[in-house]
Amino acid sequence: MSSAKIAVVTGASSGIGAATVHALSKAGFRVIAGARRLETLEEVTRAAGASAIPLDVRDQESVDNFAAATPEVHLLVNNAGLALGLDPIGTAKEQDWLTMYETNVLGAMRVTRAFLPALEASGDGQIINVGSTAGFEVYPGGGGYTASKHGMKALTRTLRLELLGKPIRVTEIAPGMAETEFSLVRFGGDSHRAASVYQGLKPLTAEDIAECIAWTANRPAHVNIDEMVIRPLFQATSTQVHRAEKD
Ligand code: NDP
Ligand code: 8X3
């Protein structure tokens, strides 16, 4: 039987989650990956030598099935998440806010709740939540997303208090602008609008964040990285970004 540690990565069909599947596999973890788009997920896991299980973090039954198929786990990466729209609060779409909250906060809670017993039983458990700079900053039009990522920060910090004395480390990784499918999803598939978010600067890549996750996961068992904030060089805050002039 292999003695490799087992890692679960949610939202692993694209972007940071997919890159994390590769980074953790390379670091020696046996990775079990979840997302809704099973075919896309399987392309990722096939290439990384990992396993794919369908997962919708908004659906309790799906989370239960996922957890039942994964009885042993040392590391949980709560990465599944999304932003929808950039509407000001005055014209906010309630369904968008609900979806963001249900995915980014309730989803992370559900998956964490399902895996806590196994993480504790591992004797060396770890939870890495992918938050965001939107978890401690705000920007116009970002109300629904920033509220959800502030929520995830609260969840992460609460967990660290509740798990004190147990062998489970808790970390928040908080990226700034990373070019993934994130903006494409946020703007309903509008690729021009999505590309304009990163125009004139070099954004982070999914791999940049995945390396930070893998590094955090590889610290000795007594070392807890509480929070890590990573931004592109030309982003100082959510609203202050330096862009090169267009040619
Ligand atoms: P992507 O859109 O590329 O990836 C999002 C992933 O989440 C996909 O694999 C998607 O898979 C999955 N997902 C969405 N909803 C669900 C659901 N209900 N159940 C299961 N999986 C779901 O974006 P990123 O890689 O950028 O996003 C990953 C995380 O990073 C998110 O939490 C995001 O908020 C955070 N983040 C992103 C930043 C950025 O600039 N890109 C910056 C800071 C944080 P599928 O659709 O197949 O279910
Ligand atoms: C994603 C970063 O700036 O779009 O979490 O909120 S931002």
Q: Is 38 in the pocket of ligand 1 (CB under 6 A)?
A: no
Whose C-alpha lies nearest to ligand 2, atom 4? 177
**Annotated catalytic residue, options 101, 139, 145, 198:** 145
Distance CA 157, CA 154 (A): 5
Q: What pLDDT is attached to residue 103?
A: 98
Q: What pLDDT is attached to residue 247?
A: 52
3-class secondary structure for the chain?
CCCCCEEEEECCCCHHHHHHHHHHHHCCCEEEEEECCHHHHHHHHHHHCCEEEECCCCCHHHHHHHHHCCCCCCEEEECCCCCCCCCCHHHCCHHHHHHHHHHHHHHHHHHHHHHHHHHHHCCCEEEEEECCHHHCCCCCCCHHHHHHHHHHHHHHHHHHHHCCCCCEEEEEEEECCECCCHHHHHCCCCHHHHHHCCCCCCCECHHHHHHHHHHHHCCCCCCCCCEEEECCCCECCCCCECCCCCC
Q: Is 63 in the pocket of ligand 1 (CB under 6 A)?
A: no
Question: Residue 159 Cα, ligand 2 centroid: separation in angstroms?
Answer: 23
pLDDT single digits (tens) 196-209: 999 999 999 999 99
Question: Residue 222 Cα, ligand 2 centroid: separation in angstroms?
Answer: 31
pLDDT single digits (tens) 128-163: 999 999 999 999 999 999 999 999 999 999 999 999
Average pLDDT score over the chain: 97
Quick one: pLDDT band at residue 3, thresholds 50, 70, 90?
A: confident
Quick one: pLDDT band at residue 1, thresholds 50, 70, 90?
A: very low
> Are the C-beta atoms of residues 21 and 9 closer than 8 Å to each other?
yes
pLDDT single digits (tens) 77-102: 999 999 999 999 999 999 999 999 99
pTM equals 0.98
50: left (phi over 0), alpha (psi -120 to 50) or beta: beta
145 flagged as catalytic: yes
Is pLDDT above 70 for 7? yes
Q: Which of 8, 14, 55, 196 to mutate to test the pocket of ligand 1 (most atoms within 8 A of CB)?
A: 14
Question: Residue 182 Cα, ligand 1 centroid: separation in angstroms?
Answer: 6
Q: Which of 8, 9, 10, 13 to mutate to test the pocket of ligand 1 (most atoms within 8 A of CB)?
A: 13
Whose C-alpha lies nearest to ligand 2, atom 3? 238
pLDDT single digits (tens) 14-60: 999 999 999 999 999 999 999 999 999 999 999 999 999 999 999 99
